[in-house]
Every structure is written in C-alpha cells, then in structure tokens.
Structure 1
Amino acid sequence: MNNLTQAATIGSSSSNGAPARPTTTRTLRLGGLNWLIWRQHRAGFWTLIAATAATVAVLVLQRAEMMDHLTAHGWPDAAPGKWLEGVHPIRFQLVSYGLGFIPIVLGVFLGAPLLAGDLESGTAKLVASQSVTPRRWLATKLGMTALVVVVCTTALSIAFGRWWGPVKQEPTVLGWSDGSAFDNTGPVPVALALFTVMSGVAIGMLLRRTLISMVVTFAVAVAVQVIWHFERLALGHVVTITTHQGIGPGSPRPQLPEAALEIDESLISNSGETHGWGTCAHEISGKVCIQKYDLVGWSVDYLPISQMRSMQWFGASVLFALTAAVTAFILIRGRKRIV
C-alpha cells in the first residue's frame, strides 16, 4: 500500500474505526422563508435585475463612446466649443426621461401587488396558519424587495452619473438642477424608488385588491413626482451676489460661477432695497428711473452646482425617513390584521 492509499484509508475512518462522515460544502443558496419569498416573486425580481443589467451596459457603452470623442477633441483642456458639438443632449434627455419613470413603474408593478396579491388570493391566510409569524413573513418580503430595489437603482444611478459626469458643467447638455440629472444621480433615485415601492405595499395592504391598488399607487407615485419637482430647489441655500457700479449701458453685471442656476434678478438701491428687474419698464427713461429709485446696481440670487450633492442627500434623507415611517406602519398593522 503506497502513501496515497494509506492516507485515503486513514481519512475514511474515525479513531474508533467507524467510517467518517462525508464533508459538506456550504453554498450561497437561499433556504426556508427566504427561498419561498424569492420563488414567489422571482419573475418580478429577475425582470428588474435583467432590465437593470441591460440598461447599465448601454450607459457604459454610451460613456465610452462619449469619452472617445471628448479626448479626441482636447477635453478637458480645450474650450467647450471644440468638443461640445459631438455630445448629443437628446441622448441624455431620452435616457433620463426613461429612468425618471422607474420609481413609478416599481411602485405600480412591484410594490402594489406585493401584499395585495397575497391578501386577494388567500395566500396570507395560509401563511398565518403556519409556524412563521406574520411579522417575520412581512419583514422578509419587505427586506428582500427593498434589497433588490436598492441594488438595481444604485447601479443605474452610478452608471448614469458616470456618463453625465464629464459634461455636468455644461447646462446645454443637461442642467444639474433639472429632474433629468438631479433625480437620476446620487441617492435620489434610490430614495424615490424605495418610497414609492413601500407606499405601494401599504396601499395594497389597505385596499387588499391588486388592480385597484395598482391604480391608486400610480396616482400617488405621480403626485410624489409632481411635489418633488416643485420642492427640489427648496433643498438648497440660495446665494446672493450684488454689484454697486450702476445699471446703465456698460455697467458690469454680476458674474455667476460656472454652471450656477440663476433664481432671481433684481435692482438694488443705495439703501439696500431691492426692486424687480422690470421696475424701469414703465418709466419715461432709464435715467429717470435710476434717479427716482436711487438705483446703484444689480442683485442676483443663484444656486451653485457645488450644492447639488448636499441637496440630493438632504432630499433623500427626507424620503428615507418617510419610507421608514411607511415600513413601520406596514409591520405594525400587518402583524395585527394581515388576514
């Protein structure tokens, strides 16, 4: 018997002569309730994952194509006029519009049916009769759904942000304060998607009918987008810049930082009082208007692009807090009235 045979013989027996148990290899497979939840919703999860992978691939290719053009035309050292012509704003706009619908789609087709389908079909009653507690069942459902949503929306946010990043200083491509850029980069798309999905789950739990829950969730998701659109700029801290060198021809106007968003423009008097930029429109002449109101310069309110990241995180933190509140409501109410 050679050494290899002896080693195999020794390894196959224990110290008392009994055959040793075969070793098992652990794999990263789902089991128990996790496997059940995944299997129940695997169609929606896999569809979301596949669509995300395809979209990320397209965004990566678009960025590679754009970077080839930019570097070939002297970016970033050359003036924008030399490389901006080959950058297609319509591509950014179309892609951003598509990404902007993702929170609504996820809320309607993933969030609303998540519990409404089980309550309508009677699956919830079956689960309640098993050894698994309603709280654990709900927590697993919400946790797995949230994980898939966060992973997918984070991947899309990073991919779109990297594509838009090299030209973010050019408002003619895509303005940073517009929803097309602001809502599709950083933590905002993740927060919007999570809040919409959890709102859909809560609506489905209350209405207990899949179709009507999807319709109501759609209306709520659209309302959230509208409110977010009008309140987005309120997340920033407005900066004011003034001049005191006159307002007539040849007088210098305030110079805003690159890519800054102008909020308002007004005339400023010697006493510091501001007047609307159209104040002199109905006066006999500009000179009379200047003397009448004692105007000495301009005042401009703006938001710098440097505030974009802080504005996004502030807005996202509000949405995350609302999402946590909705999730707590689902767990508390579902524990008592899941069936």
Structure 2
Amino acid sequence: MKNSLRTGPLRTGPRRVAPVRVAPVRVGSLRSGALWLAWRQQRVLVGIGAAVLAAAVAIAAYYRSGMLDALHSGLFDHCGTGPLYCSRTDTGQPLVLDIAPLQYLGMLNIALPVLIGVFWGAPLLSRDRELGTHRMVLAQGISRGQWFASRFGLAAATTVILSGLLAGVFTWWWRPAADRSYGLFWYDSTALSGSGPRVVAAALFGLAAGTLLGLLARRVLATMGLALLVTGVMTLLLEWTHRTRLLVSPHTYVSAGIVPKAPMGDKWSTGHYGLITASGRHDDVLKCPFPSGADLRECMAQHGYVARFYEANPAGDYWTFQWTDTAVLGGLALLFTAATMLLLRRRV
C-alpha cells in the first residue's frame, strides 16, 4: 500500500503573513456613536417627559371642554372684565369657573426649572464622572466636546420641545377665561410665570445650571442638592421681582377728585393709592378716606390736593414681564453653558 502522504522539503524561513487592513475611523461615526450613547442614557427621561406632556394634553382637553360648555350655557353672559367678581342674578352667589386644574398645570410649568435641573441637568455629566465611565468613552476617540455636545444637545432639544408644548397647552386652556372675573387674570402667578416664552427660558436655565454644577461637584447626590437650591432660589426670586415690580415698573394713573376714577379692570394694582398736591407731592390715601363725591372734594380742597392717583400695571405689561424674565433666564442659561464648555477640559 502506497503512502499517500507526501513530504516536501522543510521550510525554515520566515512565514509571510497577509497585512491586516484597518478601516479608517470616521468622525461622523464617532459623533453618531456619542449621540446614540446619549440617547441610551436619557431615553427614560425623554419617555417620562412625553408621558407628562400626554397627560397634560388629555387633562387640558377634558377640562377645557367643560369650561366651554359652562361659558356657552349663558350663565356668565352678564359678567364682564371690570368687576373683581361676578354673581348669579337669582341667588347672588359668586360665579367662578373650575380653574384649579389649570392652576396646577401653571404650577408644574413654574416648577420645570427645578425638576429639570435636579433630575436631568445634575446627573448629565456628574454620573459619568462619578462612575468613571467617561474615560472609556473618551478612549474610543470621542472628544470632550463631542461627549458634552451629544448629551447636552439631546437634553436641551427635549427641554425646549417639552417646555414649549406645556406652555402652549396652558395658554390654549386659559384663553377662553383669560382676564375675566370668573376666570384667571394675567397677573396670577400661575398665568404670568406658567405660560409664554419664559417657561422655555426657565427650563433651559434649570438644565444649564444643573449641568454646570454637575461638572463642578462631580458627585450626583451633591449636585442634585445644589441644583435644587440654585433653581429654587432663582424661581422664588423672580416671583418676588414680580410682586415688587422691581424689573417692570408700574404705571401711575391720575384722576381728579370731582369724578370717579377709572375702574381697575384687568390692571394689576400695586395697592399704592394716594393724593397729589399742587406741588406734585404724593400723600397717602388715608389723608382723605372718602369715595368720589362731595366729602372727597371738600377734603381735597381743605388740604390742597388737586388730584388722586393709583399705581398699576396694565394687561399689556404681561409681555413686558414675559420678555424680561426670558432675557434674564435665557442669559443665565447661555452663561452657564459657556462656563461649562470652558471648564470641560480642566474638569474632565
């Protein structure tokens, strides 16, 4: 039997190995990878935001439908914008719409910067830094700028969409009963701070503040506590500026003592009333505590008063308050974002 195994000469030289070709890494793939990772980390928060928005839309549609049915019933036809209240023609009972759910939505919009700053902005960078997972991401060829931009960009885009839609839902629900004695006036805190572009600016402020604090504090729990403090104080501070008219000055309305003063209507009174002398001095209204009539004219003549005044903000100042708050909160959001980008190289 012949052996089929053939042996050849023994080769002792070096063996040739085929060169391995490494595919070039594209910048676009790194960016898409960073964005995909950011989505994986934030998709739960995005889902929660979508659920909150869906619930708000459903509740607004339900209660707004009931509000329109009540308005179309004719029960409120005799009510105007002037009186501070409206009553039933038969029993004299006050007539008001059920605006409590609307005010709850306004409170949610006011609290957005606190919620977003604590639960979204604070862990955005601090969680990776605390666990050290950012080093693994940066080792894959993703730069610090791409790592930050993918996370913050996704969070900021979602924040703008969510806050903008929530503010729009509030306005859509509020409009049928806006500035009515049976509804909600524009200067109510839930309407003034829970609607309009300032809601978006406030939400971005909360996100930017939480992100910057996360870069500085590094620990998630510590960052969340700091974010709660900073965003909460800023929210309360702006509400204080509204009440004190610190950023938006009131108008002074003057009337003679011989005629009744113009009704307050939808103006937001400061509660400051008084009397004016010929020299222009403003005195307290208690100097002549009489309504329009003969007693008031006699008292004014005795003390040398030539006119009365009161201070209030007209309804048109709603937009002045809105754009003032938007400028303040938006400016702080841009400042905090710029500071985060500048400190990124030193801290990460």
- Under TM normalisation by the shorter chain, which class is it? 0.7 to 0.9
Match of 1:64 in 2: 65
User: By how many angstroms is 1:58 displaced?
Assistant: 1.2
Match of 1:79 in 2: 79
- The answer on whether the counterparts of 2:215 and 2:347 sit within 8 Å (CA) in structure 1 is no
Indicate the SS of the match to 2:95: helix
Match of 1:119 in 2: 129
Unaligned regions of 5+ residues in structure 1, if any?
1-29
Match of 2:46 in 1: 45
User: By how many angstroms is 1:225 displaced?
Assistant: 1.1
Match of 2:261 among 235, 238, 253: 253
User: By how many angstroms is 1:236 displaced?
Assistant: 2.8
1:31/1:135 Cα in 2 relative to 1: closer, same or farther (>3 Å)?
closer
Indicate the SS of the match to 2:269: strand
Match of 2:338 in 1: 328
Indicate the larger mover: 140-149 or 227-236.
Answer: 227-236
Unaligned regions of 5+ residues in structure 2, if any?
1-30, 81-85, 89-93, 290-294
Distance (Å, rounded) in 2 between the aligned partners of 1:110 and 1:131: 26
Alpha carbon RMSD of aligned pairs, Å? 2.5
Indicate the SS of the match to 1:176: coil
- The answer on whether the counterparts of 1:107 and 1:200 sit within 8 Å (CA) in structure 2 is yes
Distance (Å, rounded) in 2 between the aligned partners of 1:114 and 1:208: 10
* One-letter identity of the residue aligned with 2:214: G
User: By how many angstroms is 1:175 displaced?
Assistant: 3.1
Distance (Å, rounded) in 2 between the aligned partners of 1:183 and 1:218: 18
Distance (Å, rounded) in 2 between the aligned partners of 1:291 and 1:301: 23
Structure whose CA Rg is larger: 2
- The answer on whether the counterparts of 2:67 and 2:98 sit within 8 Å (CA) in structure 1 is no
Indicate the SS of the match to 1:265: strand
Match of 1:212 among 213, 222, 232: 222
Indicate the larger mover: 115-124 or 96-105.
Answer: 96-105
Alignment of 1:44-193 (within 5 A): 44-73=45-74, 78-80=78-80, 81=86, 85=95, 87-170=97-180, 173-193=183-203
Distance (Å, rounded) in 2 between the aligned partners of 1:94 and 1:145: 25
The alignment's TM-score, normalised by the length of structure 1, stands at 0.81
Number of residue pairs the alignment of both structures matches: 300
| Higher fraction of helix | 1
- The answer on whether the counterparts of 1:56 and 1:155 sit within 8 Å (CA) in structure 2 is no
1:154/1:287 Cα in 2 relative to 1: closer, same or farther (>3 Å)?
closer
1:54/1:92 Cα in 2 relative to 1: closer, same or farther (>3 Å)?
closer
Alignment identity in percent? 27
Distance (Å, rounded) in 2 between the aligned partners of 1:319 and 1:307: 18
User: By how many angstroms is 1:82 displaced?
Assistant: 7.8
1:238 is the counterpart of 2:238: no
User: By how many angstroms is 1:291 displaced?
Assistant: 5.0
Distance (Å, rounded) in 1 between the aligned partners of 2:68 and 2:58: 15
